[in-house]
Chains A and B, each alone.
Chain A
Amino acid sequence: MADLIASDALLTEEQNQTLRLLLNMIIPPDAERGMPGAAELDFMGYVFEFANDRIEHIKRELDSLNKSSRRQYTVTFPQLDDNDREALVKRLYSTRRQFARNIEVQIMFCYYQDDKVLKALGKEARPPFPKGNEVLRGDLSLLDPVRQRPKLYRE
């Protein structure tokens, strides 16, 4: 609970709203596949716990997005309608190489290690140890042509 309170307080209300909208534009929900949208996850809780050094970068990226929104539309990103938000993100994504790079990287790590997501992908939400994984031993008769070759090394 302490972490939750701390992570909630990491962003301003405007940053928080901007983040939630952006996250679902990066990974939207997909009802057909049973996949949650990225905004459904406790992203900042994850960042607080596992990528603390990225928090300031993430804040700057959110502020930069709002600045671009104000410059182009005179309102903040959350105040835009869906079409304008889509157009703005599309433009920034194609013109700025580093646009929202920290948010993008961290949401991928957060999303694809999340229990809900792993279950939706048909995977067990567990650490690798102690259960481990089954890996096919492999058909070593595939080596027959290699075995028939003369020695390949020089004496």
Chain B
Amino acid sequence: MAEDIADILIIGAGASSAAAAWSLADTRMRIICLEQGDWMNPSEYPSNSKQWEVLRQVDYNQSPNIRKRETDYPINEEDSAVSIANFNGVGGGTILYSAHFPRLKPSDFRVKSMDGVADDWPIDYKTLDPYFAQNDRNMGVSGLAGDPAIPWHEPPLPPIPIGRMGEAMGRGLNKLGWHWWPSDAAIISEDYEGRGKCLNLGPCNSGCAQGAKSSVDVAYWPVNQRLGVELRTRCRVSQILVDDNDMATGVLYFDENGVEHLQRAEIVIMACNGVGTPRLLLNSPSAGFPDGLANRSGLVGKNLMFHPIGFVEGYLDQPLDSHLGPQGTCILSQEFYETDPARDFVRGYSLQIVRGQPPASIAVSGTQRGDIPWGARHHEAYQKYVGRSVMMAVMCEDLPELCNTVTLDPELTDSNGIPAPKITYRFSENSKRMLQHGLQKGTEAMEAAGAFKVYTMNQVRDTGWHLMGTARMGTDPENSVVNEWGRSHDVKNLFIIDGSIFVTCGAVNPTTTIQALALYVADSIKKNLANLFD
């Protein structure tokens, strides 16, 4: 019986995997994707229930340490100032993401040249531009062309509604003369490719019951499967195998019954996110790679970047219905995005104005802050706050530092005995100063919009949404893990396409850039097929 060998094996079925599989499908090669989670059932998402505000707190929590699904792995975060968010399932992190879809900017790829910090990417914005556009069409992205803060691009669908809240904040930002623009969102504002348009359910971040949020289980995978890509769920990869010639030969994985299997492959592509990818590489040592696979640079798991995040919450003295509409997106200001030498930090941040807190959450935070008292005045005070909350995230650029790491925990394991990742992370002084500036400017914006009360939250812990930098790309094998098109310097048939390969991270949600990179790497594989392993 012939040995079962995949032409291409992709590990993980999230954002980058879906995009790469779509692109590679036209090679007609045999592509297998192994995913440790399940297919999601949208009828189980919290927004099908009246109690959605509470139902999202555990089963759909962003933290695997709280969620504790069978398909999750634990993460040791004791030495980290930020806790990790992820999701394991077909769709990966896009199941719970906000679908906020701003692109990195040209300067984000040239940080060293322009600002003298970190490193330049080996590619530039123009290289990725056609892949951004292709991915926008594949995903279904809504937005408005003409934003002066980003090179011209035209999202395929009109912007999602900004609502009364977006208008109120836009007026406030106009008073200050600051930039703002409706957010690009991977949420379809009109019926698109057989999917129904956004119904403004609200809680995008616990899964979209309508399927209007472009998580890749609805936007990419059904197409990929029709194109012949084989997707296997409940397959948890424990190790990537290599031969004596430093070539990957396949992977070991556990099925849902805990039975171990070998899957051979000619090409292995890792798409496990900025924590899962270094975890798996470090857990794949061999004689040729005693410190972890593809780790001769010693940089696997180093330079972990999040986006340091603080929040400004304002309450406006007018009914806004601010809890309605896609929860994680509305408008954003990039007035303070680019480096300004007059400031006491380099690089910059976005002010992301998202929607307000929903009704029960308003009551909880209001009572805890003392704004909504116990007793006779409770009802009157509640009316003053509900529907009038505006949340603003100050999303800062992080800079790569060797001390921020993903390593293997010596004791903690997942249910298959695979070592859990251990996160070591602290905020840099640059990030602290940037956040402080952002919180002050965010407060000014709220006051300009007429807020009667403003709260700031600094260095918020539960914001490890964006996992980047732990297997960076570059042209120098001494200083990077993969080359300028995602191929490992050390293992010529091993590719990485997730956020691990970011050199720097800009100050915006990374998913659109991750997917553009995945399409670019996939295209590079196709263009270099004749001498792919040279």
* Contact present for A113 and B200 (CB under 8 Å): no
Whole-angstrom distance between the Cβ of A107 and the nearest chain B Cβ: 9
In the complex, chain B residues whose CB is within 8 Å of the CB of A115 = 50
Which A114-148 residues have C-beta < 8 A from chain B?
115, 123, 125-140, 142-143, 145-147
Interface residue from A26, A130, A138 paired with B374 (Cβ < 8 Å): A26
In the complex, chain B residues whose CB is within 8 Å of the CB of A25 = 374-375
* Contact present for A153 and B161 (CB under 8 Å): no
* Contact present for A135 and B167 (CB under 8 Å): no
Interface residue from B114, B167, B209 paired with A130 (Cβ < 8 Å): B209
* Contact present for A113 and B50 (CB under 8 Å): yes
Which A19-78 residues have C-beta < 8 A from chain B?
25-28, 30, 33, 35, 50-51
Whole-angstrom distance between the Cβ of A144 and the nearest chain B Cβ: 9
In the complex, chain B residues whose CB is within 8 Å of the CB of A150 = 148
* Contact present for B151 and A132 (CB under 8 Å): no
Whole-angstrom distance between the Cβ of B465 and the nearest chain A Cβ: 22
Q: How far is the CA of A108 from the CA of B170 in the complex (A)?
A: 32
Q: Which of B172-180, B249-257, B280-288 lines the interface with chain A?
A: B172-180
In the complex, chain B residues whose CB is within 8 Å of the CB of A131 = 199
Which B115-146 residues have C-beta < 8 A from chain A?
144, 146
In the complex, chain A residues whose CB is within 8 Å of the CB of B181 = 143, 146
Interface string of A6-27 (1 = CB under 8 A from B): 0000000000000000000111
Interface centre among B51, B210, B368 (most CB of A within 10 A): B51
CB closest chain-B residue, reference A108: B363
Interface residue from B50, B182, B201, B364 paired with A105 (Cβ < 8 Å): B364
* Contact present for A138 and B161 (CB under 8 Å): yes
Q: How far is the CA of A128 from the CA of B45 in the complex (A)?
A: 11
In the complex, chain A residues whose CB is within 8 Å of the CB of B53 = 109, 112-113
* Contact present for A28 and B376 (CB under 8 Å): yes
Q: Is A154 an interface residue (CB 8 A)?
A: yes
Q: Is B107 an interface residue (CB 8 A)?
A: yes
Which B291-337 residues have C-beta < 8 A from chain A?
321, 324-325, 334-335, 337
Q: Is A155 an interface residue (CB 8 A)?
A: yes
Q: Is A149 an interface residue (CB 8 A)?
A: yes
Q: Is B488 an interface residue (CB 8 A)?
A: no
Main SS of the interface on chain A? loop
Q: Is B360 an interface residue (CB 8 A)?
A: yes
* Contact present for B209 and A133 (CB under 8 Å): no
Interface residue from B210, B362, B367 paired with A132 (Cβ < 8 Å): B210
In the complex, chain A residues whose CB is within 8 Å of the CB of B203 = 128
* Contact present for A153 and B149 (CB under 8 Å): yes
Q: Is B264 an interface residue (CB 8 A)?
A: no
Q: How far is the CA of A28 from the CA of B362 in the complex (A)?
A: 18
* Contact present for A133 and B47 (CB under 8 Å): no
Q: Is B202 an interface residue (CB 8 A)?
A: yes
Q: How far is the CA of A143 from the CA of B376 in the complex (A)?
A: 43
CB closest chain-A residue, reference B125: A155
Whole-angstrom distance between the Cβ of B325 and the nearest chain A Cβ: 4
* Contact present for A108 and B379 (CB under 8 Å): no
CB closest chain-B residue, reference A154: B107
Q: Size class of B's contact patch?
A: 35 or more
Q: How far is the CA of A131 from the CA of B48 in the complex (A)?
A: 10
Q: How far is the CA of A132 from the CA of B334 in the complex (A)?
A: 31
In the complex, chain B residues whose CB is within 8 Å of the CB of A28 = 375-376, 378
CB closest chain-A residue, reference B212: A132
* Contact present for A134 and B200 (CB under 8 Å): yes
Q: Size class of A's contact patch?
A: 35 or more
* Contact present for B51 and A135 (CB under 8 Å): no
Q: How far is the CA of A85 from the CA of B434 in the complex (A)?
A: 49
CB closest chain-A residue, reference B374: A26
Given the contacts A28-B378, A135-B161, A128 and B47 also touching, CB distance less than 8 Å: yes
Given the contacts A33-B379, A138-B163, A153-B106, A50 and B54 also touching, CB distance less than 8 Å: yes
* Contact present for A151 and B379 (CB under 8 Å): no
* Contact present for B150 and A153 (CB under 8 Å): yes
In the complex, chain A residues whose CB is within 8 Å of the CB of B146 = 147
Whole-angstrom distance between the Cβ of A88 and the nearest chain B Cβ: 13
* Contact present for B199 and A133 (CB under 8 Å): yes
Interface residue from B106, B200, B201, B335 paired with A155 (Cβ < 8 Å): B106
Q: Is B171 an interface residue (CB 8 A)?
A: yes
In the complex, chain B residues whose CB is within 8 Å of the CB of A153 = 105-107, 148-151, 337-338
* Contact present for B201 and A133 (CB under 8 Å): yes
Q: How far is the CA of A125 from the CA of B52 in the complex (A)?
A: 12
* Contact present for B148 and A133 (CB under 8 Å): no
Given the contacts A142-B174, A152-B338, A132 and B200 also touching, CB distance less than 8 Å: yes
Which B170-211 residues have C-beta < 8 A from chain A?
170-171, 174, 177, 179-182, 199-203, 209-210
In the complex, chain A residues whose CB is within 8 Å of the CB of B378 = 26-28
* Contact present for A151 and B148 (CB under 8 Å): yes
Interface centre among A104, A111, A150, A152 (most CB of B within 10 A): A152
Given the contacts A35-B379, A127-B49, A109 and B367 also touching, CB distance less than 8 Å: no
In the complex, chain B residues whose CB is within 8 Å of the CB of A104 = 364, 367-368, 374
* Contact present for B367 and A154 (CB under 8 Å): no
* Contact present for B161 and A136 (CB under 8 Å): yes
Whole-angstrom distance between the Cβ of B99 and the nearest chain A Cβ: 15
Q: Is B156 an interface residue (CB 8 A)?
A: no
Which B484-517 residues have C-beta < 8 A from chain A?
none
- CB<8 Å pairs between A and B, sample of 22: A26-B378, A28-B375, A33-B379, A35-B379, A50-B54, A104-B367, A104-B368, A104-B374, A109-B53, A109-B364, A113-B50, A113-B359, A127-B48, A128-B209, A133-B321, A138-B161, A142-B174, A143-B170, A146-B179, A149-B179, A152-B335, A153-B148
* Sample of 5 further A-B pairs with CB below 8 A, known A30-B379, A104-B374, A137-B162: A25-B374, A128-B209, A129-B48, A142-B174, A153-B107
Which 8 residue pairs of A and B lie closest in terms of their CB atoms, listed nearest first?
A132-B199, A138-B162, A129-B209, A128-B201, A112-B360, A108-B363, A154-B107, A133-B200
User: CB within 8 Å of A: which residues of B?
Assistant: 45, 47-55, 105-107, 114, 144, 146, 148-151, 159, 161-164, 166-167, 170-171, 174, 177, 179-182, 199-203, 209-210, 321, 324-325, 334-335, 337-338, 359-360, 362-364, 367-368, 374-376, 378-379
